[in-house]
Structure formats: structure tokens, C-alpha cells
Chains A and B, each alone.
Chain A
């Protein structure tokens, strides 16, 4: 079983739709979770960062962590064509000490006008 699983998509939605992107993981030690957005031929940029379980909201984006189910989600409300990108989840079990990020393979999202 891979440490982090992410559906590669592609996912195509109409403009204005609510998008749900998900990752599952197997390591119960993970407690720091991130979402990155990567536009075509660009480096990934940090979108959301959450620690432990719960929700975090930033504008149209909401990150959700369910540690009991080992499942994290990113919700995008009122999706826009500019949201079309690949979304990568990342996680680690350490804070401020040893430990590298484990990445999902990314989900490619296309928002159609």
C-alpha cells in the first residue's frame, strides 16, 4: 500500500461548481497536511496548510482533515477557470524537526467556462 493515494483524474467541472479533491494515507503518524497548486509547466505553490484534524478555510478554499479515517480533502467553492491546475496533497509526521514531505501524485482539474 502506498503511503499517500490521490486520484489522478482528470476532473472536469463547469464554472461555479463545488470541487472536492481527496487524498488517503496509511501512516497514522502524519499530522501536518498541505495542498499545493501547480499550473502547467510551473513549480507547485502552497495553497493550504493544516495541522492535525479539523477544517481550515481561506476564501473559496477549505481544507479538511479526518485523521480517524486517514483522509484529507480540499474543497473549492465557486470554481473558476483560473483554478484549472494540478492539485498535490503533501503530508509529514514531523514538525520543525526531521522528516520530509510525502506527496500524492496530483489530481488534474479543469474548470470549463
Chain B
């Protein structure tokens, strides 16, 4: 069966500090991977998605970036955090496009980031 991991679970960082959040998926190959941010009252905001190693699509302009160095690893980064970067960050996966799969996405446990 497939599992998705995220770490750390919680993080408190000062404004202007760097950020690195990691997501890994087990039990599947060539998944699509997603980073979302969830802020109170604002729903899920898609930040980045990736259909393969080194392939990143950005949905919103921001000071965050994403990378996919391995097939089942997805990293969210920032060089300098802003107060507005606080939120609940969720990684998700789905079976790759072109398969006979559904469009269902499966979420990780999330990372709660507080920028002070």
C-alpha cells in the first residue's frame, strides 16, 4: 500500500530565515506530487505540482520554491520567510497522468509552520 510522509510536523521560524519541508511517498512509482497551503478560512491553495523528476509547475507567484530531486521526493523551500508564509502545508500525491487511475489525491499529515 502507498504511504506519504511529511516532516517536520511543526515548525516555528523567525522572519527572514530559510525553510525546507520534505515529502516522500512510498509504494508507488512516477506519481504526480503536490504542495498545498491551508490558511484559516481560505481553503486549500495549490502552490506547486510536479509530474516527474525536475518538473515543477508553479500555481501562484511567491517567495517559495519547490524541487523534485527523486521520483518520490518533493521539497518545498524558501530563502527568506515572510510572516504571510505561516500556515498548514500539505503534500499530496496521485497516480501519474496517462494512467487509468482516478484523479483522487492522497494527502500527507501536514506541517504546521509559524513564522514569527
Check B26 for interface membership: any CB of A closer than 8 A. no
| Interchain CA distance A97-B103 in the complex, whole Å | 8
With a cutoff of 8 Å between Cβ atoms, the chain B residues found around residue A43 in the complex are: 90, 92, 107-110
Partner of B103, one of A44, A88, A95, A106: A95
| Interchain CA distance A65-B90 in the complex, whole Å | 27
Partner of B98, one of A34, A96, A101: A96
Check B102 for interface membership: any CB of A closer than 8 A. yes
| SS class, residues of chain B in contact with chain A | loop
Contacts A105-B42, A105-B43; A45 near B102 (Cβ below 8 A): no
Whether A96 lies near B99 (C-beta < 8 A) is yes
Nearest residue (CB) in A for B4 is: A43
* Interface residue range, chain B: 20 to 34
| Interchain CA distance A96-B96 in the complex, whole Å | 8
Whether A96 lies near B41 (C-beta < 8 A) is no
Check B44 for interface membership: any CB of A closer than 8 A. yes
Measured CB to CB, the residues of B under 8 A from A are 34, 41-44, 46, 49, 88, 90, 92, 97-110, 112
